[in-house]
Amino acid sequence: MTKNNQSNDTSRFRSGFVAIVGAPNVGKSTLLNRMLGEKISITSKKPQTTRNRILGVFHRPSAQLIFMDTPGVHEASNPLNIRIVETALSAMGDADIILILLDVARPDPVSEGLMVSKLKQGKRPVILALNKIDLVNKDDLLEIIDRWAQVYPFEEIVPISATEGTQVNNLIEAMEKYLPAGPPYFPRDTLTDMPERFIAAEMIREKIFRLTGEEIPYSTAVTIDFFKEEKAGAFIKIHATIHMERDSQKGIIIGKRGAKLKQIGKASREAIERFFGAKVFLRLFVRVQKNWSRDTKALRKLGY
């Protein structure tokens, strides 16, 4: 997936991988989308929306930052959530820089403790971004900064608002300083290395998160069965399957006379069209795969 610009001069260039790590719902995906200026990572107000490591490439004249948006770190019990947390923590070991993102309005001591204990095992530069500063007053923010400065020797502590864009550029500049010297990993017009099928599936899953409640989003997986570009990329045909864990959930996601599924399909199609810049024909199927989130074989088959 390609977009953006970058200088050809790599004599003093910096490039590297940045793992964005934090508790569920702290704004990691919102921050990534804000930095890239494009929506590649799905978002919702529900925690644990992100399940996979999402890679986004940000180009500057003197640097290339390759961001890894990770699932929320939390205490996990079932096989799916254990794999989700393992994905997030493993990214910390693969990165050149670790960006810890905290929600200053809603601290999560358990998740924060898990991350700090993991930090103490490595020697990579760590930057702390305190997100949602628009929701707290200045005196409280200063106290939070001082407290976190005592917890771990962060290279930088940067207060931001990913939603408002406040100090996001300052955060990017802070990270650039700690990137290793070297040529870019990706061509200048690359936005992400995620396959088009994955992006389409994630956009459908986002609409399920936003348009359904209770346990439905957490019991849902999406696979793309058919993806074909026609008319030189101006038209895309997609067939996708929504996997549920129980028959009762299937009825809920289809809705009365198919109304809920039509709503999800319309919202998904519009989002996919905006991203790809093409007209989209989207057909959704619903399938029950009993207890897939607890079945290790099913998890592998569904891409987890």
pLDDT digits (tens, 9 = 90+) for 166-209: 999 999 999 999 999 999 999 988 998 888 999 999 999 999 99
pLDDT on residue 51 = 66
pLDDT at 32 over 90: yes
pTM above 0.95, yes or no: no
CATH superfamily of 196-301: K homology (KH) domain (3.30.300.20)
Tell me the angle at which helices 259-276 and 196-211 cross, rounded to the nearest 10 degrees: 140
What would the CATH number be for the domain defined by 14-176?
A: 3.40.50.300
Q: Kindly state the average pLDDT of the residues 104-117.
A: 87
Which DSSP helix (H) or strand (E) runs through 250?
A: helix 247-254
Which of these ranges, 17-26, 83-92, 235-244, 262-271, has the smallest mean pLDDT? 83-92
What is the overall mean pLDDT for the chain?
A: 88
β-sheet bridge partners, residue 129 = 101, 158
The full set of domain ranges for the chain reads: 14-176, 196-301
Query: Distance between CA atoms of 76 and 24, rounded to whole angstroms?
Result: 12
